[in-house]
Amino acid sequence: MAKKVGILFGMEDTFPWAFIDEVNAQGEGKVVAEPVLIDKVQQGIDYGYHVIIDRISQEAPFYRAYLKNAALMGTAVINNPFWWSADEKFFNNCLSMQLGVPVPKTVLLPSKERPDDTTEKSFRNLKAPLDWDYIFNYIGFPAYMKPHSGGGWKSVYRVDNAEDLFSKHGETGQLVMMLQEEIVFEDYYRVYCLGQKYVHIMPYEPRNEFHLRYATEPKTTGEEHKKLMKTIHDYTIKLNKALGYDFNTVEFAVRDGIPYAIDFCNPAPDADVNSVGQANFDWIVKHAAKFAIEKALSHKEKQNNSSWGTFIKNAAVPEAPKTKKAGAKASAPAKKAVVKKAPAKKPSAATKAAKPTVAKAKAAPKAKTTGKPKAGATKPKRAIVKKETTKSGVEAKKMKLVTTAVKREPAKGGLELPSKTAHKSGTKKTK
């Protein structure tokens, strides 16, 4: 019996139908494709799809719940609906730093408005004001503010100074935002990645009109270009293997020859022929069909067939340390090798630039033990956290986020997340 591939989609009208035709052509009757059709969703029921390509569940929670049930019953859902539900862009940046992939300097900002069904008391752990001096010096201006979760270039702002930031942050409602340094790039690429192995690098110009963003050319040539393409290819594979995405795009801004990963949480990326262009469209249709057929033919009944990233797999079952195989000859005892310390080589300037700086937190000094308290000694008083004034001379209308310290009684006063703050232009910019 033929394996069945379904595609779940919404308003897009070019990729889904071309994908179906391509699977049916490549599948040669062994694998067939069709639009997913749903007339009921009963718990614990397998509705017969070996593979489903998900292009819409980020906008439709009903579909996301349907796909989780399908994945549980053994359907290979692309992309994994459980991980997609958990993932977001700020975490992506944090993970990227651990993987050694350069990313822009980024901080997380609380939402302007409190979430529904919360009060000022819900935010007693959030200090007010935030350490704006540190944040502004770390990120610098101009900068970009964007949602920590989501995509489609929605609610993305360029901010030129503190006043501009607070003004535009006032438009974001309950969105949790990220503030990110501007990467002034000389080259930019958008990269398709399928099955954590098929990679297609596309020159991309995000400053162009939407329909012209792919109408550009690489700015590097020769050996420099080959080296850059190899680095972008390797970073793309590394990120998608860690995240577990089988259908994703990664965007890179190239500054001083170093590709910075700007956006790599796009599990339903643009694949419309009218925006990506015919050549890129042909590639994504052909390889999406090829990978879906591979997943269908390797499908195992009543088992997990959806992909999980190395981040999750290593957390669940940590990799055992690799051990060297013992030599075949074991009769004579091995002589101790004399290890000579080689003089440490100074890293080159290029090496320094390629590695993002990660500040290591210093361990707090251990408290000295003084033995048992003497009789009659009073108990130490609980430390009272006081509001501190900024040390840099920055004059601010204190951001009324929440109370400064965690208290037992409800916090007093209104909560504005955040209020507009006047910040002196003398704040040092980060280059």
The DSSP letter of residue 252 is: E
Largest CA distance in the chain: 89
Query: Taking a C-beta distance cutoff of 8 angstroms, is the pair 135, 123 a contact?
Result: no
- Section 214-231 average pLDDT: 96
Predicted confidence at residue 276, as pLDDT, reads: 96
CATH of domain 3-85: 3.40.50.20
User: pLDDT, tens digit, for every residue of 362-384?
Assistant: 444 444 444 444 444 444 444 44
- Section 142-171 average pLDDT: 93
User: pLDDT, tens digit, for every residue of 244-288?
Assistant: 999 999 999 999 999 999 999 999 999 999 999 999 999 999 999
Segments of the chain assigned to CATH 3.30.1490.20: 105-181
CATH architecture, domain defined by 88-102+184-266: 2-Layer Sandwich (3.30)
Predicted confidence at residue 324, as pLDDT, reads: 58
Q: How would residue 89 be classed by pLDDT, with cut points 50, 70 and 90?
A: very high
Predicted confidence at residue 211, as pLDDT, reads: 87
Helix, coil or strand: residue 404 = coil
Tell me how far the alpha carbon of residue 60 is from its chain's centroid: 21
Q: How would residue 335 be classed by pLDDT, with cut points 50, 70 and 90?
A: very low
CA-wise closest residue to 79 among 55, 96, 49: 55
User: pLDDT, tens digit, for every residue of 48-88?
Assistant: 999 999 999 999 999 999 999 999 999 999 999 999 999 99
Query: Taking a C-beta distance cutoff of 8 angstroms, is the pair 268, 284 a contact?
Result: no
Between 180 and 211, name the one with better pLDDT: 180
CA-wise closest residue to 309 among 83, 149, 54: 83
Domain 105-181: which topology? Dna Ligase; domain 1 (3.30.1490)
Please state, for a pLDDT cut of 90, what percent of the chain lies above it.
71
Predicted confidence at residue 328, as pLDDT, reads: 42
Predicted confidence at residue 393, as pLDDT, reads: 39
Segments of the chain assigned to CATH 3.40.50.20: 3-85
HSE, CB side, 13 Å, CA atoms: give it for residue 26: 20
Predicted confidence at residue 350, as pLDDT, reads: 38
Mean pLDDT for all residues in the chain: 82
> What Cα–Cα distance (Å) separates residue 75 from each residue in 65, 166, 269, 369?
13, 46, 21, 58
Q: How would residue 151 be classed by pLDDT, with cut points 50, 70 and 90?
A: confident
Predicted confidence at residue 224, as pLDDT, reads: 96
User: CA-CA distance, 322 to 33, in Å (whole number)?
Assistant: 42
Between 36 and 317, name the one with better pLDDT: 36
Residue type, 284: I
DSSP H or E segment with residue 20? helix 15-27
Q: How would residue 323 be classed by pLDDT, with cut points 50, 70 and 90?
A: low
Predicted confidence at residue 158, as pLDDT, reads: 97
4 backbone dihedrals φ, ψ, rounded to 5°:
-115, 130
- Section 309-333 average pLDDT: 69
Predicted confidence at residue 154, as pLDDT, reads: 86
- Section 117-133 average pLDDT: 94
Query: Taking a C-beta distance cutoff of 8 angstroms, is the pair 106, 90 a contact?
Result: yes
Which of 12-21, 174-183, 398-407 bottoms out in mean pLDDT, i.e. has the lowest? 398-407
Q: Is the pLDDT of residue 176 over 50?
A: yes
Which range is most confident: 44-53, 324-333, 349-358?
Answer: 44-53
Torsion angle of C-alpha atoms 56, 272, 147, 243, degrees rounded to 10: 70
